[in-house]
Structure 1
Amino acid sequence: METGTTGTSVKASSLRWKILRQAILRKPNADEQSEIGVKRITRKTRQGFNLIPCHLVDDPSHSSDVTVCYTLPIDSAPKLYLTQRVVDHAELSDFEICNKYNIDNTGLVCQWPSEEVLAYFCLSHADMFRSKRVIELGSGYGLAGLVIAAVTEASEVVISDGNPQVVDYIQHNIDANSKAFGGTRVKSMMLHWNQNEISNISSTFDLIVASDCTFFKEFHNGLAQIVKFLLGKVQPSEAIFFSPKRGDSLDKFLEKIEENDLRFSITENYDAEIWKHHTEFMNGAASWPSYQKDHCYPLLIRISV
C-alpha cells in the first residue's frame, strides 16, 4: 500500500496503472526538452547520498544517452565512465520487454541511491573482494560491479541483470572502462532470477552483491533461490545486499531466505560516513525533501549458507 498526500491509501495496482498511462500519453513540453543535466536521466531520483562525486562529460541534448564520470574518493583510483539513458519518459517498448521477459524496468530508470551506497561500501571494504569471484545481481548500469572490478583486485566480476536492454548498457560500460580493471576478469550476463536452468554459470561465487533488489515481492522466491544456487556449499561465501525496508517488502524477502535454509543478519549502522549522511537527512541538516528512512535508507543484509 502507498499513502498519498491526502493521507488516504491507494492500492499499488492503481498507482501502477496511473504511471503506465502517464508514461504512454505524456508528451514533454519545450522547457522539459531543453533541460540538460544529470536530472534528465530517465525519471532519475533527484537525490542521493552524494558519496561518489560525478559529473556529465558530454552534452545529452542531441542523444538518448549520457555519459557520467564517477570520481572514486580514494587515492590513485581510476575514473569510471557510465553511459545511461537520458530520456525523460518511458517508452512503450520498455513495457513490452518487461512483459516478454517477466522483469521490471527499474534498471533503466536511474542510478539508484542504494547502488551508490553499495559501491561506496565496496570501496571502503576492498580487501574482502581481493582474489574473489564476485557477481552483482540486478546491477542496473553496473556502478558497484565496475567499482569492485576497478579497485579491489577481485579475480572475476560478473555484472548481471534480467533486462536485455540493461545488459547492453552494462557491456558498453565494461568496454568503456576496460583499462581500469587490471588483471580482473569482467563480463556482463543476462540473468533472470526465475530461470529454471542456469547453463551459463558453471560454478559458484565467493561473494554476491546486490542493491535495492527486494522491492517487488513477486520476485522474492526466485531471488532467494538464485542466491542459494550461486553461493553453493563452499565456505566461506556470502551475499551482501543493501535494501531499504520499503514497508514489509524486505521482511517478506527475508522470510523466503529462511525458507531456502539460508541465514542472514541485518546491520543498520554499518559505515560512519553513510550514517552521517543519513542522520543529516533525517534531521533536515542536508537537503533531501522526500527523505524517509523506510523508503530511502538501505540496510546491510548479509546472507550465508
Structure 2
Amino acid sequence: MSKTNYLADNQSPSAIKRISRKTHQGFNLIPGQVVEDHVNEETNYRDVRICYTLPVDGTPKILVKQRVNNSVDLSDFEVSDRYNVDNTGLVCQWPSEDVLAYFCLSHADMFRSKRVIELGSGYGLAGLVIAATTEALEVVISDGNPVVVDYIQHSIDANSTAFGNTKVKTVTLHWDEEVTYNISDTFDVIVASDCTFFKEFHNALACTVKLLLKNVGRSEAIFFSPKRGDSLDKFLEKIEENGLHFSITENYDSEVWKRHQGFMAGDDTWPSYEKHHCYPLMCSILLS
C-alpha cells in the first residue's frame, strides 16, 4: 500500500473518529466562540477565527485561526506524502490540546523566563497560551505539516500584542536529526499533546525530545496523551531506549479529573467518551 493510500485510509472521517473519539465539546476547559467565519477562496475550505477567553486573572483572550471542515482533500495528502507527516492537525482542535493549554495556564511559573517549544502543535492553542500568560523568554510553536504552520503563523500575527516581551515564532519541524540539529540543546521545556498515536513516528519523536532538551540545568518534556491501545506504552519504550526517563501522572489537575469522572459517569455532552481513548495521561520526560 502506498503512503498516500495509507494516509487516506487512516485519516478518513471514520478513522479519525476511531483514533480520537473527538467531539466539538471535548473537556471544554477554555471557552471559545467563533468571531470570524469565511470560505478561503484558494482552497474552498471554511476557515474560522475562534476567540478563546482564558480563565485567569484579567481574562485575556487568544485568537486562533483554524478550519472547520472535518475533511482533507487530495492536496493535503500530497503534502503528507511529500513531507512524511499526518494530517490530523488540520482536522480540529483536539481535546488533549485543550487539557495541555489549561494545564499550562495553571502552572505558569514553570515557563517563566524559559525557552519553550510545542511539538506537533496542530493549531497551537497551548503554545499561544504559554506565550500570552507565562512570561516565557521564547515560545516556538511547531508542526511537521507546512499547511498547519501557515495557520499558526496567522494566529501569532493576530495575537502579537498579547505576548509582551516573549519572543514567539513558528517553525516547520520534522522529527529527525537532519532537521532539528540546528536547534539542539536549546529548550528548557517541551510540551506536546496527542503526538503518540502513529507508531511509525515514535523513535523519531523520542530522538527529537532528547536532541532539543537543554543538557544544562533542569529541562523537561511534558506530553499529554491517552493510552490508545498500546500506542503510548510503545512510545515510552522508545523514550527509555533513547536513555530518557519518564513518569506518568493520572490525576494532575482537580478540574480536569472532575470532568473526566463526569464523562465516565455518563455525561451526555461526550457520549462516546472512553477512558483509554479520550483521557490524556501526563508524561514527564527527563534527560538522564
2:231 maps to 1:249:
yes
Counterpart selection for 1:59 from 37, 40, 50: 37
1:32 matched to which residue of 2?
none
Quote the offset at 1:203 in angstroms: 4.3
C-alpha displacement of 1:20 = 6.2
**Alignment match, 2:73:** 91
Relative CO higher for 1 or 2, CA cutoff 8 Å, sep ≥ 6? 2
The CA RMSD over aligned residues, in Å, is: 2.2
Letter in 1 for 2:160: S
Matches within 5 A, 1:1-305: 18=9, 45-60=23-38, 64-201=46-183, 203-305=185-287
Q: Secondary structure at the match of 1:57?
A: strand
Alpha carbons 2:149, 2:172 under 8 Å: kept: yes
Look up the equivalent residue of 1:279 and give its one-letter code: Q
In the aligned structure 2, how far is the partner of 1:174 from the partner of 1:22?
Answer: 29
Distance 1:189 1:284, change over 3 A: same
* More divergent stretch after superposition (257-266 vs 228-237): 228-237
> Which segment is superposed worse, 277-286 or 103-112?
277-286
CA distance in 2, matches of 1:244, 1:259: 21
| Structure 1 pair 17–56 and aligned structure 2 pair: CA distance change class (3 A) | closer
The answer (yes or no) to whether the contact 2:26–2:95 under 8 Å persists in 1 is yes
Which residue number in structure 2 is paired with residue 36 of structure 1?
none
SS of residue matched to 2:66: strand
* Mapped contact 2:227–2:233 kept (Cα < 8 A): yes
Residues 241 and 59 from structure 1, CA distance in 2 versus in 1: closer, same or farther, beyond 3 angstroms?
A: same
Larger Rg: 1
Q: Structure 1 residue runs of 4+, over 4 Å off?
A: 14-23
Q: Deviations over 1:61-89 (max 9, x none)?
A: 67621100000011114210011012343
Cα distance, 1:61–1:162 mapped onto 2, change above 3 Å: closer
Distance 1:217 1:60, change over 3 A: same
What is the aligned residue count?
A: 274
| In structure 2, C-alpha distance between the alignment counterparts of 1:203 and 1:21, rounded to whole Å | 37
Letter of the 1:149 counterpart: A
Unpaired runs of 5+ in structure 2? 15-20
Q: Matched residue of 2:96: which SS?
A: helix
In the other structure, the counterpart of 1:39 is: none
Normalization by structure 2: what TM-score? Answer: 0.89
CA distance in structure 1 between the aligned counterparts of 2:10 and 2:175, rounded to whole angstroms? 25
Alpha-carbon deviations, 1:154-200, whole Å to 9, x = none? Answer: 00000000000011111111000000000000000110002424254
Aligned residue in 1 for 2:18: none
In structure 2, relative to structure 1, the CA distance for the partners of 1:22 and 1:84 (3 Å cut) is closer
Structure 1 segments unaligned to the other structure (5+ residues): 1-13, 24-42
The alpha-carbon deviation at position 129 of structure 1 amounts to 0.6
